[in-house]
């Protein structure tokens, strides 16, 4: 089809792209929202942490997954029943849930915008058509569209949360890239050299370019201008990355036993920290992460014997704290104030951090 681009000839490479980009699609990994009681960046000291399962299981519906934080105390989760598919809010303090949206289409993913004002809902009812719904935080539908696709990937604009960059993928591994401005109800196709791009500036996007044969896990972090397609290398041997309006992070393989996390502002390094981690272990499980711009904190897992530690790293003060030991590596999502995390393969657990 005219306009489509090859994702690469190798199915292995495509799967690697999906694995890397799943950090961003599963939930919004960068939290820019201002929390009600956001902690002071230099004095956010964790005294203890407690984990408990969220009481989201009910007999009248099948819980699917949590999808992140609307504010310091409210999450969203999806569920299904014989009558349809539902999106709920749940207040972790009041322990109250509420249906905010119902559809007859399967809910594939839900993603909260950087400032918590909107929710992207990705649904489908067959293998050839994807549906994008933009909801307010209360579940009011602001925009909806359908587009031919077997799979989609997306990333919010960190500076204007009414825009997203979308990739649509097809059965033959070709793809298209679009800019969706749902406030203006505009969908414009753009040309980028690789899929799975994230916003950097208004006209620039960042992505990982892997080798042609798809045999390498890490690649080159590239910045590309969508107007003239000029490119600039940012970092080499990058495993994963994310970008916000204030900071970009990248994890890169330094050697066979060292993983480095680098934090950048306008291309200049702010800070970094290293983790001893063999390449063999990294291939087996890429560590998940959450980036909280409000408290300048980065949350991830580091190896600890056969298990892992969940840590918090302040990229401004270069302080690192252990949140919990003896953890299984699983997805995480952090609240705006940085004091609560969702944890688990369906984000079904709540970790509360005490600073007293």
| CA 88 to chain centroid | 20
At 283 the pLDDT is 67
Decide if 72 contacts 37 (C-beta within 8 A).
Answer: yes
**Rounded to a whole number, what is the distance in angstroms from the first to the last CA of the chain?**
60
* Number of other CB atoms surrounding residue 349 within 10 Å: 17
Residue tagged 């970092």 (tokens)? 235
Could you tell me which residues are beta bridge partners of residue 249? 242, 263
* Number of other CB atoms surrounding residue 12 within 10 Å: 13
At 122 the pLDDT is 98
| CA 8 to chain centroid | 23
Could you tell me which residues are beta bridge partners of residue 98? 89
What's the pTM value of the predicted model, to 2 decimals? 0.90
Length of the chain: 356
Distance (Å) of CA 198 to CA 191, 205, 208, 223, 226: 14, 5, 10, 10, 12
pLDDT (tens digit per residue) in 49-104: 999 999 998 888 999 999 999 999 999 999 999 999 999 999 999 999 999 999 99
* Number of other CB atoms surrounding residue 176 within 10 Å: 20
**How many angstroms separate the CA atoms of 130 and 57, rounded?**
28
At 125 the pLDDT is 87
At 45 the pLDDT is 84
**How many angstroms separate the CA atoms of 294 and 39, rounded?**
9
At 285 the pLDDT is 74
Collect the ranges in the chain with pLDDT lower than 70: 1-44, 213-215, 283-284, 356
At 178 the pLDDT is 97
**How many angstroms separate the CA atoms of 321 and 264, rounded?**
21
At 9 the pLDDT is 38
At 212 the pLDDT is 72
Looking at residue 216, the DSSP 8-state letter turns out to be -
* Number of other CB atoms surrounding residue 34 within 10 Å: 14
């Amino acid at each position: 089809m005219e306009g489509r681009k090859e994702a690469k000839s190798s199915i292995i490479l495509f799967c690697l792209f999906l694995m890397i980009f799943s950090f961003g699609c599963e939930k919004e990994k960068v939290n820019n929202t201002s929390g009600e009681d956001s902690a002071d960046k230099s004095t956010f000291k964790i005294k203890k942490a407690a984990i408990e399962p969220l009481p989201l299981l009910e007999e009248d519906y099948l819980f699917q997954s949590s999808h992140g934080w609307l504010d310091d105390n409210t999450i969203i989760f999806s569920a299904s029943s014989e009558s349809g598919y539902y999106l709920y809010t749940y207040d972790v303090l009041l322990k109250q849930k509420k249906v905010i949206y119902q559809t007859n289409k399967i809910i594939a993913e839900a993603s909260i915008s950087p400032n918590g004002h909107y929710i992207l809902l990705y649904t489908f009812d067959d293998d050839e058509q994807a549906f994008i719904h933009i909801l307010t935080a209360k579940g009011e539908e602001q925009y909806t569209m359908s587009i031919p696709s077997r799979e989609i990937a997306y990333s919010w604009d960190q500076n204007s949360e009414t825009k997203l960059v979308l990739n649509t993928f097809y059965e033959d591994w070709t793809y298209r890239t679009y800019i969706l401005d749902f406030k203006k109800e505009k969908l414009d196709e753009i040309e980028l050299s690789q899929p799975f791009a994230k916003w950097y500036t208004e006209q620039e996007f960042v992505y990982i370019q892997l080798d042609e044969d798809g045999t390498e896990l890490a690649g080159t972090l590239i910045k590309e201008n969508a107007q003239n397609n000029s490119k600039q290398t940012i970092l080499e041997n990058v495993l994963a990355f994310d970008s916000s309006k204030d900071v970009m992070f990248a994890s890169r393989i330094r050697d066979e036993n060292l993983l480095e996390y680098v934090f950048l502002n306008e291309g200049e390094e702010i800070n970094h920290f290293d983790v001893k981690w063999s390449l063999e272990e990294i291939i087996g499980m890429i560590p998940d992460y959450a980036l909280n711009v409000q408290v300048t904190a980065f949350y991830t897992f580091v190896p600890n014997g056969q298990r892992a530690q969940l840590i918090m790293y302040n990229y401004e003060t270069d302080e690192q704290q252990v949140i919990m030991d003896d953890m299984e590596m699983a997805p995480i999502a952090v609240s705006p104030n940085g004091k609560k995390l969702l944890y688990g393969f369906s984000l079904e657990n709540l970790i509360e951090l005490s600073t007293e």
